[in-house]
Amino acid sequence: MSEMQDLLEVSGYSEKAIDYYLNKVNVGELTEPDTHAIYTGPCGDTMEIFLKVEDGVIKEAKFQAIGCAGAFSSGSALTEMIIGKTLEAAEKIDEEEIINYLGGIPPQKVHCTCLSKRTLQKAIKDYKNKRGGN
């Protein structure tokens, strides 16, 4: 195990969360997204989420972040969780579900899951507004 993995494990990240962070799962951009949004959290970290949507269902999801390991692992988890889901189901995912999916992150990093949740909600809202929905 690398020193970085050790450090992350000692701080309270699950093996899955560490794997997402180190392998940058779903980190990137979509060249022609149907919607994307940027959100900066109260901590100052920023995330951008890109979505491809077909018939109300999320087909592809990628993200970029200027943020901590909590932001990256949450972004990876959330983008994985929403692929194949309807926009309505995706926008309802909350922090607790992201943390459960990750299998644990340090208590002081729980707010980082909110960054990914809010960025996703903004992207979905923008998508609906563009199409005249609510």
Q: Which residues bind ligand FES (CB under 6 A)?
A: 41, 43, 45, 67-68, 70-71, 109, 112, 115
Cα atoms found within 13 Å of the Cα of residue 95, Cβ hemisphere only: 12
CB of 33 or CB of 70, closer to ligand FES:
70
User: How many Cβ atoms sit within 10 Å of the Cβ of residue 115?
Assistant: 26
Q: Closer to ligand FES by CB, 81 or 115: give it.
A: 115
Query: How far apart are the C-alpha atoms of 68 and 37, rounded to whole Å?
Result: 19
Compute CA distances 105 → 58, 97, 120, 126, 128, whole Å: 26, 12, 20, 29, 32
Distance CA 12, CA 17 (A): 10
Nearest residue (CB) to ligand FES, 33 versus 67: 67
- Helix pair angle (95-102, 112-130), 10° resolution: 120
Measured from the CB atom, the residue of 39 and 127 that comes closer to ligand FES is 39
